[in-house]
Structure 1
Amino acid sequence: MASSHRSCSRYTRLAEVALATLVVVCPLALGGAARWVAWPLMGLAGAAALLAGIGARRQGQSLRVPLMAVPLAASVVLCAVQLVPLPEGGLRVLSPEAAALREFALEPLGLTGARPVSLDSSATWRELSKHLAYLLTFLAAVQVCRARDSRRRLLAVVAFSGAAVVVVGLGHALLGMHSLFGVMPWVHARPPLVTFFANPNHLAGFLGLAASVGVGLALTTRPRSKALPFALAAGASGLGVLLSLSRGGIAFFLFGQALLMLWLVRERREGGAPRWARSTAALLGLLAVLAVGAYVAADSLWAEARSADSIEKLSQSKVALWPMMAQAARAFPVLGMGRGAFEAAFPRYQTEPNPNTLTHPENAVLQAATELGLPGLLLLAVALWGFVRLVRREDLDALELAVLSGVAALGLHNLFDFSWELPACAVATLLVLGAVARPRERGRATEGARQGLTPSPVLLGASVALTALGLLALVPGAHRLADAEAELAALVSARAPVDVVHAKGLELIDRHPSDYLLYRLVASAHASRGGEGAGDTLAFVNRALYLAPRDAVSHRVAGRALLALGRRSQGFLEYRLAHEAGDAGALLGEAVRRAHSVEELAAMTPDSPEVAGRLMDALSNTPGRQELALAYGAWAREHFEGRHGVTELWTREARLRLLRKELSEAEAACAQVERREPERLDTALLRAEVLKGRGELDASLGAVEALRARHPGNVELAFTLASWQLEAGLTRRARETLQSVGGLISDYRQRARMLSMEADGLEREGLLSRAVERRQTAARLVPSAEGYFAVARLQESLRRYDAAARSVREGLALLPPDSREAARAWMTRLESAERTRVDTRRKELMDDPRAQELEHLLGGPREPPVEP
């Protein structure tokens, strides 16, 4: 080793610098998520590989290709194969799903050219470049790490990079900054520890690996005084893992440390070097740091732990998505859907609505299966076999054991995360694995040369060619899905001519054929033409629904187009599908207004009595549609007979009949409710409402008061009783009822409602000043335009025009911009009244001799003397 170090070529040292720069740059590039990182990643990896090859040639060393390099090289080949344009027959054999997409969505649009297997070729070009960079990084690390000093320096860069990231995060926490360096806010993330990583799981993965490497360096550094920086770096990274609040990251980091301890115990039992006491001290020191971090973040850690404290909660997390992703993988068994194409292609196989865009399966096995097919799973198995072979080596020291334990922990973490999909964690992992997979020097250099590849000019030229290929791949890879969507959405929002949107849409669809949003945006542009464009709208939105069957907006657009074409039943069915896909406003906000018959309402009704009840309420509250509401309620009761929730439909029927003064029908509906659920509280309250509707006010009040006595803790029942008492003019009794439940109310909305009802009673009694106080408090508890306007009306009646104008101004700020005209006119009138009042009062004071005398005695201003 010493001779190897002395003869180390300057080219090898330059390769070491390139690798170290790569380790530092990737975390700085937002954990590898920054778009610009692809260019330095490829450039530095290619430079490191070329320089390492030249250095090996100068030193007379062979280039070794460990087994771990095989899956990296094969993944490059797979990416290249996925990008080869294929005729229809070949595509149908290798990827029936891609062929079906071509036949259904592209050929009718005139896009008949040969297509690759990848469903997003631009993303696959980027992945090709990335995998080439990973391959060259690993091969360069294997060669450079043959020198002991170079190996330790590179591993030290990994350890200190993790510590530096944590220092940045702690600095942000101490300064109370929630954006990176105060200039870069995270838009879609709220990381507990503000660093270069927006995703806490990725941060925990990177820091966990850095901490493990730091522990290994601390265990193997001589003399012990020089080990302290590594121990501190490991402790800082371990602390960062805890402060990230990543449940998986913390759990697998602790697993990695436990695994390292077990390996060290086994090594000692097998007669290894006697360093057990030192190893124990280092690990206990790390655990002490972790204990301090756990104490500092105890509340946050407990909250995170409680969010996954049962099997049910875990099943509702990302694990619940695995069956859908497995289904997607089964659809692409031969070559996968294309490396990097998951974000664009997965919505076709998403059977449950999700408000988030799923960019990765967050499971390394499913990632390989969906994007690379069965070959990807085979490569994953080869990589695992290569890792096991490294673990089974007999000459591993404590540093290498620590590295392998960190990689094992990160690998298990990637069964629930995708940190290896970003360069920061991937490059660090490949570098530390290269340090372990390096060839062992067993004798003369010539002996080592016979065991590997001779670094000939042809081989060095191959590394240059691969680097050039990786850089060229970034040119077609520059076309990103998000950019295409934003460009087309901007045209639609700007109401560009439909022909322009159509042409641009076809261009972008040709580039990203599996992105449903592009088809939907073109459909939206055609929908702006009304009935004239309904056919084109339907053509494009059908393709969007083919690619994303659970897209609620596409279903709504399809519903509008079908209504415009006169296919009303199908249109309302699409509204129903939009509701089932998660669009809560599709039925109540739009479809119910367009329905004209019970048949159309039936077509839009999901298999849910509760939703049917809400539809009935929407109809009942719309002037002129109560007859339709009653007819629809009759259909819904018959349709859902025997299901839970039918009683609520009868209850709605009774209340609507009471509203329409149809007392006999209301009585009959109430009898149905009493027959079905006689013991329910709402049933007794409904009977009281019927009594009230018949004019039996005393009886209805007595019934509700009896209910109140049986249910003293029911706040809503108390509110109902108080409102009825107010209507009957029993303001004192109403206030007493409200005060009896005042101590039970902890919700701000309920408190504001109680105060508003008290204000109603005080207003009826003429106690307007006290009523103003109640309404002001209610408006502060639950700010709303109506609340502030109620305050303003009372203040205006008290002739407090200035205060009333301020209240109107506060309510005005809570109104939508298109509804502010009347409030502005009111505020202007109040301000004018206040000016008139002030001017009148000033004039009265000026004309009052007593007021003038008082002003003179108080030393107030006097008129200036008149000059002669």
Structure 2
Amino acid sequence: MLLVLLPLALGSAPGWVLWPLVVLAGLAFVLACVGAWRQRRSLHLPLLALPLGAGALLCLLQLVPLPPGLLAVLSPEAAALRDFTLVPLGLDGPRPLSLDPPSTWRELARHLAYLLTFIAAVQVCRSGRARRRLLGTLAFTGAGVASLGLLHSLLGLDRLWGVIAFVHARPPLLTPFGNPNHLAAFLTLSATVALGLALSSGTRVRAVPFAVAAVLSGAGVLLSLSRGGIAFFVFGQLAFGLLLLGRRAEKARARTWRRGGAVLLCFLAVLAVGGYVASERISAELATADSVEELRQSKMELWPVVASAARAFPLGMGRGAFESAFPRYQTRPVINTSTHPENAVLQLASELGVPGVLLLVVLLWGFGRLLRREGLGVLEVAVLAGVAALGLHDLFDFSLELPASAVAAWVALATVARPDDRARSGSPRGRAPLAGLAVGVALTAVALVALVPGGSTLAAAEEELGGLVAARAPLAEVRARGLALIDRHPADHGLQDLMGIALADAGRSEAVEALAFANRALFLNPQDARAHRVAARALLTLGRRTQAFLEYRLAFEAGDRELVWREALGRARTLAELQALTPDAPADVVPFATELIRTGHAQEALPWLAWARERLGTAPEVVGLWEREARLRLDRHELMEAEAASAEVSRRAPDALSSHLLHADVLRAQGRKEEALEFLEALRTRFPGDEELAFTLARQQVDLGLTRRARETLHQVAPYLSSLPHRAQLFMLEGASYEQEGHRARALESWKSVARIQPGPEAWFKVASLHESLYQLDAAARAAREGLRLLPAEKRAEGEAWVARLETAERQRTEARRRARIGGTDERDQLLRVLGSDEDVRAGGSEGL
């Protein structure tokens, strides 16, 4: 049940999966103890059970509350966090080593569940039939997951089971695993195990289902497009082959190859075909890591930072606490939160410290002992090769941090770590199994109890407090709930930010408290852009405007760009405040100038541009500032100043197309439209195929009535247009040219193309307007309704009135036509009455006439 349930339960990523994991693991252990008692066998505890048990014990020790003095000795970093972030809030009680106790509680339950599962599997796997049944379940589960992905692809479904949509993930192969790396890791193990089952089967008939399962799982690895998954899948197959060749049982080996050679060749052939089918997608994915430098900048870039964080915690920051504790050690702004270091060694080193590294060494030693074990069969070799590939994959991923792959790996290892099938305990019947039964029940109870405090997650805590803040709940309620959640998740900077947001605009005394929360958030995450924004709002409330805009600038440099620009630029009033808000990086100054002009700071824009140019000196970005000034001067109809600024742009960047386009706009603003047109047409030989030049030229040709020349210009550049926005712009200009000629039907077709390529309210409203001009009122109403559907509800009143008018006019016209038809019938009936009786009319109708 665990082998099947966990992969299907969204790859075991949801938190609720831990409850069935613990229950089923405890049940498996109990049943294994009962089986051992009935078979007169004692429970076998392999060496590999030691890291699991010790890991659970370390989690428990990390949860023990320690007095401040002892905490400072064992973990200075945890003590510093307590003193700086908790004591000022009145949370001055004893604290554990873990910086996120709920996560460590969950990890305690998970480790205990793995321990119970592993020992139960070791006991069950004393039976050869049970071993093959367990491994067959793993193999067919992997094949089923891969087949599910193939079925979704064939049916064109973008929702799992046609119902569940992944919010943040877009997996190339849609399966319960939202992460393609985790999918590839699980399928690597299942494919290798399936191949081992096929090669160790007694007959070809029994080998066929396992061979098919191996092929399906291997194809799933390729279609997952996971670069690491594909690489370590190939490693697993090569390791399996090399281990088989290294076996010394020559007769058995020859017999094995005669029986399984055809299966192996078929497997490789089908994988080759699958690789060929997905070759383009695989090549595109591998092209993103076609150099060592690009690979280093992807996942390995964080490794030195994680290593420095691990050195700060000799006894670990707490198992599972990486997500909340690591932001304090990040050295550069990041958009996404790192939940795992994506390296198994660094994961254990940072969360469990030196003891965790020692446990990893013991684990590797125990695996090496299994690998050197005498008498390994084909199936055991396949299991060890698959687990090795999965473990090495976790040097670049964290699939073993999720129960689906972890349980599969421990169950697979149990089939090799089992004792001799004929070994029996010399102890009296049932004594050791019954004692183990009591221990297992106690461990299951501990794991279930641990899930209760472990039910609180960072996301849930931030969502709860954020809901109170967004609903503008009373400050007393927000403060009380916020302190309780901070006490539960002391290293989470997001909770500090939310408290600061709630207090920043509530008054001067609350603003001072908000600054304290922002300061604590920056202690927990020095790259926290939201904390700088909270500080800026609080400083504005306190009247310290210049310092507030410095905080806004720091928030911008920490990654909070668009939101800060909208908020900060809307609140800036003076040139000094704009100067304080200006980013330090020259590359950000020109976009800042664009936003500054767009937000309507007309009075301060020109002196700011002069100050910014002086500040940048000889930096290349100065040209962009001169260009922004020229555009601003044109908007203000200051033509002489605009011409001087344009000349400065041309002097500094004589070969840039933007300089020439600016000069043409200046000529046009001066009324020299024909000269501007000739200037642009002369540029076509220097910049053939340039979209911006073509669109500018076509626009001016349309304005001058040269509609056919405008369409020729557009048709010449059409083959070079690849993006949808550019093609939409082409059809817009084409439609404008037809409309100016009076060809409204052709203009309508062009604007319909715009609405199809780039749907938007403006495009649909233009289509509706053209339909109305052609007296196609029903079609006009439908197009207007399409545009209304894309507008916010508060902006639909005018459009709905237009649609109502169109529909009313259409109904009136339809009614008029119906009355006209009815009127013709009445005249005919009157004529018939003159010629004969009403009865003749009713009986004969028109035939009588």
Alignment TM-score > 0.5, same fold: yes
- Partner of residue 683 from structure 1, selected from 642, 659, 678: 659
Cα separation, 1, equivalents of 2:697 and 2:148: 59
CA separation of 1:66 and 1:647: change in aligned 2, threshold 3 A: same
Deviations 1:21-75 (A, max 9, x none): 3333333433333434323333333344455455546655454433222222221
Matched, 1:304 2:322: no
Aligned to 2:356: 376
Cα separation, 1, equivalents of 2:599 and 2:113: 64
CA separation of 1:171 and 1:781: change in aligned 2, threshold 3 A: closer
Cα separation, 2, equivalents of 1:29 and 1:810: 39
Task: Show the 5 A alignment for 1:51-450.
Answer: 51-53=31-33, 55-56=35-36, 61=41, 63-223=43-203, 225-268=205-248, 273-275=253-255, 277-278=257-258, 279-332=260-313, 334-440=314-420, 446=426
Shift of 1:797: 4.8
Task: Show the 5 A alignment for 1:788-803.
Answer: 788-797=764-773, 800-803=776-779
Shift of 1:837: 5.5
Aligned to 1:27: 7
Cα separation, 2, equivalents of 1:566 and 1:210: 64
Kindly provide the amino acid, as one letter, of the partner of residue 604 in structure 2: L
Aligned to 2:503: 526
Cα separation, 1, equivalents of 2:547 and 2:700: 46
Shift of 1:640: 0.9
Contact kept? 2:504, 2:541, Cα under 8 Å:
no
Kindly provide the amino acid, as one letter, of the partner of residue 626 in structure 2: W
CA separation of 1:638 and 1:287: change in aligned 2, threshold 3 A: same
Cα separation, 2, equivalents of 1:727 and 1:658: 18
CA separation of 1:259 and 1:112: change in aligned 2, threshold 3 A: same
Matched, 1:578 2:555: yes
Cα separation, 1, equivalents of 2:113 and 2:822: 89
Task: Show the 5 A alignment for 1:391-790.
Answer: 391-440=371-420, 446=426, 455=432, 460-527=437-504, 529=506, 533-623=510-600, 625-790=601-766
Contact kept? 1:268, 1:274, Cα under 8 Å:
no
CA-based RMSD of the aligned residues comes to 3.4
Secondary structure in 1 aligned to 2:289?
coil
Secondary structure in 2 aligned to 1:463?
helix
Secondary structure in 2 aligned to 1:339?
coil
Cα separation, 2, equivalents of 1:153 and 1:731: 77
Kindly provide the amino acid, as one letter, of the partner of residue 339 in structure 1: R
CA separation of 1:158 and 1:678: change in aligned 2, threshold 3 A: closer
Shift of 1:629: 0.8
Aligned residues: 835
Cα separation, 1, equivalents of 2:751 and 2:148: 48
Deviates more, 1:509-518 or 1:477-486: 477-486
Cα separation, 1, equivalents of 2:10 and 2:398: 15
Deviations 1:102-147 (A, max 9, x none): 1122111111111111111111111111111222222333333334
Gaps of 5+ in 2: 833-837, 843-849
Cα separation, 2, equivalents of 1:674 and 1:93: 66
Contact kept? 2:7, 2:176, Cα under 8 Å:
yes
Shift of 1:339: 0.6
Shift of 1:308: 2.9
Cα separation, 1, equivalents of 2:831 and 2:754: 45
Cα separation, 2, equivalents of 1:366 and 1:617: 44
Contact kept? 1:722, 1:737, Cα under 8 Å:
yes
CA separation of 1:242 and 1:702: change in aligned 2, threshold 3 A: closer
Deviates more, 1:489-498 or 1:831-840: 831-840
Aligned to 1:45: 25
Shift of 1:261: 0.9
Secondary structure in 2 aligned to 1:327?
helix
Shift of 1:262: 0.8
Contact kept? 1:760, 1:771, Cα under 8 Å:
yes
Aligned to 1:860: none
Deviations 1:354-408 (A, max 9, x none): 4433322221111111211121112111211211122122322222111111111
Shift of 1:691: 3.4
Deviates more, 1:527-536 or 1:609-618: 527-536
Shift of 1:839: 6.2
Deviates more, 1:560-569 or 1:351-360: 351-360
Deviates more, 1:220-229 or 1:377-386: 220-229
Kindly provide the amino acid, as one letter, of the partner of residue 713 in structure 2: T
Shift of 1:232: 3.4
Kindly provide the amino acid, as one letter, of the partner of residue 565 in structure 1: L
Kindly provide the amino acid, as one letter, of the partner of residue 320 in structure 1: E
Cα separation, 2, equivalents of 1:233 and 1:518: 47
Secondary structure in 2 aligned to 1:267?
coil
Cα separation, 2, equivalents of 1:641 and 1:171: 61
Shift of 1:568: 1.8
Kindly provide the amino acid, as one letter, of the partner of residue 584 in structure 2: D
Cα separation, 2, equivalents of 1:420 and 1:87: 34
Shift of 1:701: 2.8
Cα separation, 1, equivalents of 2:748 and 2:204: 75
Shift of 1:411: 0.6
- State TM-score, norm by structure 1: 0.88
Deviations 1:582-641 (A, max 9, x none): 333134322122212222112222233343223323333445x32311111101111111
Contact kept? 2:62, 2:96, Cα under 8 Å:
yes
Contact kept? 1:556, 1:586, Cα under 8 Å:
no
Contact kept? 2:200, 2:256, Cα under 8 Å:
no
CA separation of 1:362 and 1:566: change in aligned 2, threshold 3 A: same
Cα separation, 2, equivalents of 1:455 and 1:682: 84
Contact kept? 1:163, 1:237, Cα under 8 Å:
yes
Deviates more, 1:589-598 or 1:56-65: 56-65
Shift of 1:826: 3.0
Cα separation, 2, equivalents of 1:348 and 1:238: 40
Contact kept? 1:619, 1:628, Cα under 8 Å:
no
Shift of 1:335: 1.5
Cα separation, 1, equivalents of 2:371 and 2:64: 38
Contact kept? 1:609, 1:636, Cα under 8 Å:
no
Shift of 1:236: 3.3
Kindly provide the amino acid, as one letter, of the partner of residue 574 in structure 2: S
Identity rate of aligned residues, in percent?
A: 56
Cα separation, 1, equivalents of 2:439 and 2:820: 100
Deviates more, 1:743-752 or 1:466-475: 743-752
Contact kept? 1:146, 1:440, Cα under 8 Å:
yes
Contact kept? 2:734, 2:750, Cα under 8 Å:
yes
Shift of 1:149: 3.6
